[in-house]
Amino acid sequence: MPMFGGQGTEPGPKTEKSNEESEKHSNEKPCNGGECGDLVKARRKLEEQRQKSAELSVSVGRLSAEADSIKKNMMIKIAAAGGVLVVMFIFLISGLVAKSKVENELTEHRLYRDMYDSVFVLSKKLKTERDSLRTELAGYIVAVEKLQEKYDELASNPRASLSGGTRGRANIPIEMVSVRGGRFNMGCTAEQGGDCNNNERPAREVNVGNFSIAKYPVTQALWTRVMGSNPSQYQGDNRPVDRISFRDAQNFINRLNTMTGRRYRLPTEAEWEYAARGGAVSRGYRYAGSNNLDEVAWYGRSDGTRAVGTRKPNELGIHDMSGNVREWVSDRYGIYGETGAAPGTDRVLRGGGWTQRARDCRVSARAGYAPSAKGSYIGFRLAESR
């Protein structure tokens, strides 16, 4: 209950702080009413400042921790950025090195290109000079061969002169077959099958004029009568003469023409194949006169030549064009279809010899040999223009 009139409060228990304050206050000098009020306010304000200072200290600590964290993160980022810069620097250096290497390679490439251009120009010049020399050489070869033929003619008939001289008129019978000219496909034609060689390709249409060709190869009897000796390995008057070079054949023809007053010659390659195929009456045989080689040729043997005319003739009545001895023709050897090439020195052999395989006895088979080549399977036959 209140001890006095009016409303009052019951004093509660005093706290430790109140006791301390009481003691502090009991030691202080007593003050009058106004001074004590100001002192209490000042103390309260000081206490608030202390509390704020403590709060600020906590905030500063927290901010300091956040600053440390930020600093740490910044250091990590700076380190990462430094690594990126290092990598970029390495790439930059590598790029500069690669650029320098590329520039060096480009310089070297330009140098090689200039060298190649120089070599290419020089090569074209040398090729032109080579072709010119080859053409000139071919002309010299032809001139030398003509001089050789003339020399052989003079040696065989001392009475002949360079202007033509006199000609003998010996009666030397030679059976010749008249061939009417025409157009035909020369080379690897359909009936030749898969046996064609590359030098028979491509087949092409050829025009041949009228001519005559010997019914048989030149025999040993004819050769001996004209030349006075017999070089053959397989002797027999009615056998084809063998071991004859191209030059030997030309010497024989020159002497024969001098003796007879005729104009015998070797057949051209086209004339030979046209006649072997049967000319204008050809039946398209694989061999000269038949598709059965045994009927028309001596081939694939080991015992030498045989007498001429002992196998069947072809459509024109010509014997031994597919087998007995291979035969010289007048052409220089070359590959069909070549253009612009200077002629070589090799000459063409046509027909099959007694040593040849069947595929080498076909009417389109051909080979190139040096003019000096000889063999027991090499002979020739005569032709004449009409």
Tokens of 101: 């290497």
CA-closest candidate to residue 203, choices 215, 190, 186, 220: 186
Contact yes or no for 255/226 (Cβ under 8 A): yes
Confidence of residue 108 (pLDDT cuts 50, 70, 90): confident
Rounded CA separation 270/131 (Å): 27
Confidence of residue 118 (pLDDT cuts 50, 70, 90): confident
Confidence of residue 143 (pLDDT cuts 50, 70, 90): confident
Phi–psi pair at 366, nearest 5 degrees = -150, 160
- What is the average per-residue pLDDT within 236-264? 97
pLDDT of residue 380: 98
pLDDT of residue 151: 66
Contact yes or no for 378/353 (Cβ under 8 A): yes
Rounded CA separation 233/355 (Å): 14
Q: Nearest 5 degrees, angle CA 354-CA 357-CA 361?
A: 75
- What is the average per-residue pLDDT within 351-367? 97
pLDDT of residue 161 exceeding 70, the answer is: no
CA-closest candidate to residue 142, choices 353, 379, 371, 381: 371
| Burial letters 152-165, b for 16+ CB under 10 A, else e | bbbebbeebeeeee
- What is the average per-residue pLDDT within 4-8? 41
Amino acid type, 193: G
More confident residue, 265 or 88: 265
- What is the average per-residue pLDDT within 103-119? 79
pLDDT of residue 189: 97
More confident residue, 156 or 115: 115
Can you tell me which residue has the tokens 């590359």? Answer: 198
Confidence of residue 48 (pLDDT cuts 50, 70, 90): confident
pLDDT of residue 17: 46
- What is the average per-residue pLDDT within 176-192? 97
Q: Tell me the whole-structure pTM to 2 decimals.
A: 0.60
Q: Is the peptide bond before 231 cis (omega within 30 degrees of 0)?
A: no
Which residues are CB-contacts of 327 (< 8 A; sequence separation ≥ 6)?
Answer: 217, 272, 321, 349, 350, 351, 379, 380, 381
Q: What is the largest CA-CA distance in the chain?
A: 194
CA-closest candidate to residue 246, choices 163, 340, 370: 370
Tokens of 350: 């046509």
Rounded CA separation 367/300 (Å): 17
pLDDT of residue 250: 97
pLDDT of residue 315: 98
What is the per-residue pLDDT across 268-299, written as a single tens digit (0 to 9) for each? Answer: 999 999 999 999 999 999 999 999 999 999 99
pLDDT of residue 153: 59
What is the per-residue pLDDT across 292-344, written as a single tens digit (0 to 9) for each? Answer: 999 999 999 989 999 999 999 999 999 999 999 999 999 999 988 665 444 67
Range with lowest mean pLDDT among 98-102, 194-198, 253-257, 343-347:
98-102
Beta-bridged to residue 185, according to DSSP, are 205
Output the DSSP codes for 5-59. SS------PPPHHHHHHHHHHHHSPP--HHHHHHHHHHHHHHHHHHHHHHHHHHH
pLDDT of residue 190 exceeding 80, the answer is: yes
pLDDT of residue 166 exceeding 50, the answer is: no
pLDDT of residue 70: 81
Mean pLDDT of the chain: 83
Find the DSSP H helices in the chain.
16-27, 33-156, 220-227, 246-260, 269-276, 293-296
**In this structure, are strands 326-332 and 378-380 parallel, antiparallel, or unpaired?**
parallel
pLDDT of residue 150: 67
- What is the average per-residue pLDDT within 124-140? 75
